[in-house]
């Protein structure tokens, strides 16, 4: 079946460090891929998405590239800030009407 696997947290970094959160997926066909972020006490917000192979999604300094050959969608940011502390979810879906399959989430903490 379809699934999403992301690196286990928590991940703790110092401010201005480089961030990578790994995400791989198992799916047939060509799903769309997403990264959602959940700040403390809030719901999920869409961070970025990519709808086809080799697409790069980007937002707020975060980037992820849809790699079909490695079935990956790793999240990267060149210089993290304390305000980036949150839980990050990788996800896939086939259409707006289909359910989203989420990874288990990665908690990120940034030290000043």
Partner 1 sequence: DVKVTQSSRYLVKRTGEKVFLECVQDMDHENMFWYRQDPGLGLRLIYFSYDVKMKEKGDIPEGYSVSREKKERFSLILESASTNQTSMYLCASSQETQYFGPGTRLLVL
Which residues of the shown chain bind partner 1 in the complex (CB under 8 A)?
34, 36, 42-46, 49, 89, 93, 96-97, 99-100, 102-105
Q: Alpha helix (H) ranges present in 28-91?
A: none
Nearer to partner 1 (CB atom), residue 8 or residue 15: 8
Q: Is 84 helix (H, G, I), strand (E, B) or coil?
A: helix
In sequence order, what are the residues at sequence separation of 6 or more whose Cβ sits closer than 8 angstroms to the Cβ of residue 10?
106, 107, 108, 109
Residue 22 CB, shortest distance to partner 1, in Å, is: 16
Residue 29 CB, shortest distance to partner 1, in Å, is: 17
Cα–Cα distances in angstroms (integers) from residue 53 to residues 29, 39, 69, 105, 110, in the given order: 11, 29, 9, 23, 31
Nearer to partner 1 (CB atom), residue 66 or residue 89: 89
Residue 74 CB, shortest distance to partner 1, in Å, is: 18
Nearer to partner 1 (CB atom), residue 42 or residue 69: 42
């Amino acid at each position: 079946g379809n699934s999403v696997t992301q690196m286990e947290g928590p991940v703790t970094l110092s401010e201005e460090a480089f961030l990578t959160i790994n995400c791989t997926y198992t799916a047939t066909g060509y799903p769309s891929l997403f990264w959602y972020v959940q700040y403390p006490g809030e719901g999920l917000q869409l961070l970025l998405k990519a709808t086809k192979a080799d697409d790069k999604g980007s937002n707020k300094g975060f980037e992820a590239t849809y790699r079909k050959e490695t079935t990956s969608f790793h999240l990267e940011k060149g210089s993290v800030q304390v305000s980036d502390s949150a839980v990050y979810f990788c996800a896939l879906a086939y259409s707006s009407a289909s359910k989203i399959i989420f990874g288990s989430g990665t908690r990120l903490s940034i030290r000043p």
